[in-house]
Amino acid sequence: MSDSNYAAFAASLDRLADVLDFERDGLGQRILDEQAQRIADRMASGQGTKGKLKANRGEYGERKRAKGLGVGVGLKSSDDPLLSIENIRGDQVVTHDSASMKPGKSDLAYRKAQWLANGSDGTEGERSGAENQPERPWYGMTKDDAKDIRDECGKAVATHLRGH
């Protein structure tokens, strides 16, 4: 590629960088809200990002089952339940070129989210204090989620380009 062709190509890439803007028309917020709802829906049916979530084990699991509590619901009652849509939406940040969220509206809710995901032996983040608990990946995207998000971004780009 000649230097002039390369310069033209680089300039076109710079223009394309502005085509997908997560702040435009609420795209990033819409994607995050839809993803939070997907996670909430999966959790309501006992599913995580990799299929059915493993039940709590041992005495802790027995005590939870005796109270009829599902995966992701702790033994202690809370005014700030981990699986509320507010805690699943958690801390969201939308900028021009990114949209991200992490679980928990409070530090404690974020820590509980890590306990659920990591169990007793997880390798990332804080582990549960309960003994012999399985890892349960729950907060993230499935392949279908990623496809839906790509499709939504593609529609946003197409809409933007039609307007220019």
Per-residue pLDDT tens for 79-118? 668 889 999 999 999 999 999 999 999 998 899 899 889 9
CA atoms within 13 A on the CB side of 88: 22
Domain range enclosing 92: 21-162
Determine whether 41 is exposed, middle or buried from the number of CB atoms within 10 Å of its CB (0-12, 13-18, 19+).
exposed
Please report whether residue 83 resides in a domain.
yes
Q: Does a structural domain hold residue 10?
A: no
Q: How confident is the model at residue 34 (pLDDT cuts 50, 70, 90)?
A: very high
Pairwise CA distance, residues 148 & 29, whole Å: 15
Residue 93 domain flag: yes
In a domain, 15, yes or no: no
Question: Is residue 8 one of the residues assigned to a domain?
Answer: no
pLDDT given for residue 75 in this prediction: 73
Q: Is the pTM of this model over 0.85?
A: no
The domain total for the chain is 1
Q: Are 11 and 153 in contact (CB under 8 A)?
A: no
Would you say residue 87 lies in a domain? yes
- pLDDT over threshold 60, residue 2: no
pLDDT in tens, 48-78: 999 999 988 888 889 888 988 888 887 776 6
In a domain, 155, yes or no: yes
Q: What is the pLDDT of residues 121-132, one digit of tens each?
A: 777 778 887 788
pLDDT the model gives residue 163 = 83
Is there a domain that residue 97 lies in? yes
DSSP conformational letter for 14: H
